[in-house]
Amino acid sequence: MSKLQPVRGTHDILPQQHRRHRLVGETAFEIAARYGYQEISTPMFEMTEVFARTLGETSDVVSKEMYTFEDRSGDSITLRPEYTAGVARAFISGGLVRELPLKVFCRGPMFRYERPQKGRQRQFHQIDVEILGVADPLADIEVIAIGAHILDALGVSDKVELQINTLGDTESRDAYRAKLVEYLNQFRDRLSEDSLERLQRNPLRILDSKDEGDRAIVADAPLFADSLNSQSKEFYGAVKNGLDAIGIKYQCNSRLVRGLDYYCHTAFEFVTETLGSQGAVIAGGRYDGLIETMGGPATPGIGWAGGIERLAMMLDEDPPAQRPITVIPVGEEAATEALCVTERLRRDGFTVELGYSGNMKKRLNRANKANASAAVIIGEDELAKGVATIRDMESGEQTEAPLDDLGEHLVRYR
């Protein structure tokens, strides 16, 4: 019988690594809450059309990467590959138009069938913020500021660079698409197979092709900036001015695009060189046409998603585990009292381990291995006096404290 292993592209998140994950998720939640974002959860699977309609039938995610299956009713179901489509569906099906502007934070697992590599798994986890109902550039500035704030709080802001671009409004985008197609048609015989398929349906996606031949062609393609109308330039200028005003540094990247028609105006990514080829740790943009594409009312929106695994890998060190207090009973008579003491202390907010078996030396060794801050020793002598012996595991100093008042004497170890 072969040794059981996790499915390729998945991994167990063991305690030490989980502390990193939890730090990323809790830090992001706390900071998003300061900006007025409320946490929501959407299902881990949706009807396939939710993603096929929003991500585009020709996108790599839909055509190659989604985990799609038929359930027992014959419905086509897909494990979520990203959050935004599910949030948009929840907005429509939940009748949340009366809640606008709607500001939400999400966190949880995603699923994509990709080649596993550093920073990329088939089951991975994301943090996500979305704001619906605000067409003003202030919303763009705010969601970028949240990302910058989270990266700063995690201590990794010096390892990332913010790159921004504008996709303009519909008029600007249509003008650019025409110029781009005209340019790319000259190189049809040199484009990759994927880019040839995208040329008619989704030509902007060719701009972020990973094929080396495509990249050489794209290097001389027309620039989006040359097709922007005055309104689009004004919007982009307002975003940059706002970022300047609050001290967020950025680089303009004219090749940073989003391929789908419902994206517009601001696109941005926080990128790093510390994770090899997986450079983006937070990526987002404005999607004013998304809700309407899904059959809802015209509703502006902007948001971003960040990879928890990638951000956790960037932390300089593991967050420390909570140091417990170990309660050690000596003798059968003390076992019941130790159990009661342990439960009282836990209910009073202490992290407590109960030393189950072995002689005193072995139990103290296990307390040391668990990095306990203190050991509470209860034996026959302590029971007779109604006290416990408190041993400081750093200094070795021992003191006695009444059993019914232990919490007060252990506050410094909380």
Full strand arrangement of the beta sheet holding 325-329: 352-354, 325-329, 374-378, 387-392, 398-402
Write phi, then psi, for 206 (nearest 5 degrees): -65, -25
Please state, in angstroms and rounded to a whole number, the distance separating the CA atoms of residues 119 and 277: 9
Amino acid letter, 366:
R
339 pLDDT band, cuts 50/70/90, is: very high
Q: How many CB atoms lie within 10 A of CB 40?
A: 18
Q: Which has more confidence, 32 or 57?
A: 32
Confidence (pLDDT) at 274: 85
> Of 98, 150, 119, 97, which is closest to residue 284 (Cα–Cα)?
150
Predicted pLDDT at 27: 97
Confidence tier at 62 by pLDDT (50, 70, 90): low
- Give the residue-averaged pLDDT of 264-281: 87
Q: In terms of pLDDT, which residue wins out, 141 or 217? A: 141
Instruction: Say if CB 282 and CB 305 are below 8 A apart.
Output: yes
* pTM exceeding the 0.75 threshold for the entire prediction: yes
Distance (Å, whole) CA 142 – CA 266: 12
Kindly tell me if the per-residue pLDDT of 298 is higher than 80.
Answer: yes
Q: Out of 227-236, 248-257, 350-359, pick the least confident.
A: 350-359
pLDDT tier for residue 119 given thresholds of 50, 70 and 90: low
pLDDT at 60 over 70: no
Phi/psi-derived region of residue 340, left when phi > 0, alpha when psi is between -120 and 50, beta in every other case: alpha
- Per-residue pLDDT at 58 exceeds 60: no
Overall average pLDDT of the 73-99 stretch: 93
pLDDT for 124-156, tens place per residue?
A: 999 999 999 999 999 999 999 999 999 999 999
- How confident is the model over 159-163, as a mean pLDDT? 96
pLDDT value at residue 152: 97
Q: At what angle do helices 137-153 and 230-245 cross, to 10 degrees?
A: 30
pLDDT at 129: 98
Residue whose pair of structure tokens reads 């092709």 in the numeric block: 209
Classify 397 as helix, strand or coil: coil
Q: Quickly count: other Cβ atoms within 10 Å of residue 1's Cβ.
A: 3
Instruction: Please report the pLDDT score of residue 61 as a whole number.
Output: 60
User: Mean pLDDT over all residues of the chain?
Assistant: 89
- Write down all domains in the chain, each with its CATH number in brackets: 15-169+229-314 (3.30.930.10), 325-413 (3.40.50.800)
**Ranked by mean pLDDT, which of 76-80, 114-118, 260-264 comes out on top?**
76-80
For residue 31 the two structure tokens come to 């900071």
Q: What percent of the chain has pLDDT over 90?
A: 57
339 three-class SS? helix
For 362-386, what is each residue's pLDDT tens digit? 888 888 888 899 999 999 889 999 9
Mean pLDDT of the 303-308 span: 96
Compare 2 and 334 and report the one with higher pLDDT: 334
Lowest mean pLDDT of 203-207, 234-238, 393-397, 409-413, name the range: 203-207
Please state the rounded mean pLDDT for residues 153-181: 92
